[in-house]
């Protein structure tokens, strides 16, 4: 395999690059910066903007597979920024595949593309897209996923993977946010339900991408489909947050606010930030309030069946690895 990994300098993209190199594959990363860890792995790095088709075209020359991981994540920001990175960027990647005759496209999506604000317990890939989204990230990721799946044909095989709450050592999003807010005393439980959620350890999420690529070919069982990717160990969301805090020797979250108050606060804070042009993320948003107050765990039977995905690193082992990475005895 000679692969291009868009977003190769990021958390998930970097581990995908490492695993591809461990297999002996030729790997090229496309991202906005230079990353010393990728250089150490022997990964060729191309700098560019995912919204610029010409730069992706140069980066993808000679590749047979693209792992399209690059995206604008988060729950706050301008719609045009999300659309440019997530939708236009994906349109560009698909066009590059066509122009260069690249036969495999593995897309990193998210279960949030089907989140409708209510409990999702043990659902599979048959669950539909919602009519409305409370954040631009899931909206634009859903738009991009639809483009990827529609692009599947006899020349370009595509697959969309939906890893949920990727975490582990090296995480630059979920874990640092929890630790930072916990240290500042800004975390609050939302409601008193023991709602369960799925998460996925970083190595498991990355391996799923390689396994999906292995089975991907025109007309194959995985072509043109989307798959949930998790650790298959649903956990009570607040227990999981407390476990991450414990890894950093921080106390558990004890204060609680009601789901209704959290949602209302999110609405008010969003309005204030928009009115005054505040670019920083509000302390609460409607999307986060709904995510933390509901259950969302998924059936990964299709991924097990179609490309042999089975999480190798358990949640408990992952927590021990996280604790070690934070230099906590």
| Catalytic residue numbers, as ranges | 137
Strands (E), the chain: 2-6, 26-31, 44-47, 65-68, 104-108, 120-123, 157-163, 166-167, 189-190, 196-197, 200-201, 225-229, 235-236, 256-257, 296-298
CB atoms within 10 A of CB 188: 17
Main-chain dihedrals φ then ψ at residue 81, nearest 5 degrees = -65, -45
Angle at 201 between CA 172 and CA 178, to 5 degrees: 40
Q: Calculate the alpha carbon distances from 97 to 49, 261, 266 in Å.
A: 17, 47, 40
Q: Calculate the alpha carbon distances from 322 to 165, 184, 247 in Å.
A: 15, 20, 7
Q: Are the C-beta atoms of residues 323 and 245 closer than 8 Å to each other? A: no
């Amino acid at each position: 395999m000679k692969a291009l990994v868009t977003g190769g300098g990021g958390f998930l993209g970097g581990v995908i690059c490492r695993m591809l190199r461990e297999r002996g594959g030729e790997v090229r990363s496309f991202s906005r910066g230079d990353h010393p860890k990728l250089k150490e792995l022997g990964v060729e790095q191309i700098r560019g903007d995912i919204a610029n088709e010409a730069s992706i075209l140069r980066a993808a020359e000679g590749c047979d597979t693209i792992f399209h991981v690059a995206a604008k994540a988060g729950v706050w920001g301008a719609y045009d920024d999300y659309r440019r990175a997530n939708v236009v960027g994906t349109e560009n990647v698909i066009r590059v595949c066509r122009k260069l005759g690249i036969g495999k496209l593995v897309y990193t999506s998210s279960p949030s593309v089907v989140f409708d604000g209510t409990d999702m317990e043990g659902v599979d890939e048959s669950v539909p897209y919602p009519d409305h989204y409370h954040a631009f990230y899931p909206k634009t990721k859903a738009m991009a996923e639809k483009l990827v799946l529609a692009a599947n044909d006899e020349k370009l095989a595509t697959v969309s993977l939906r890893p949920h709450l990727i975490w582990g050592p090296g995480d630059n999003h979920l874990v640092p946010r929890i630790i930072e807010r916990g240290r500042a005393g800004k975390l609050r439980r939302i409601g008193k339900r023991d709602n369960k959620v799925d998460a996925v350890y970083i190595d498991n999420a990355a391996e799923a991408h390689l396994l999906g690529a292995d089975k991907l070919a025109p007309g194959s069982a995985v072509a043109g489909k989307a798959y949930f990717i998790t650790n298959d160990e649903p956990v009570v969301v607040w227990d999981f947050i407390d476990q991450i805090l414990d890894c950093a020797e921080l106390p558990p979250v004890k204060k609680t606010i009601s789901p209704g108050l959290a949602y209302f606060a999110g609405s008010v804070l969003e309005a204030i930030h928009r009115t005054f042009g505040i670019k920083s993320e509000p302390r609460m948003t409607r999307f986060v309030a709904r995510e933390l107050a509901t259950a969302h765990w998924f059936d990964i039977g299709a991924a097990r069946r179609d490309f042999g995905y089975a999480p190798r690193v358990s949640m408990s082992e992952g927590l021990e690895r996280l604790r070690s990475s934070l230099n906590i005895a």
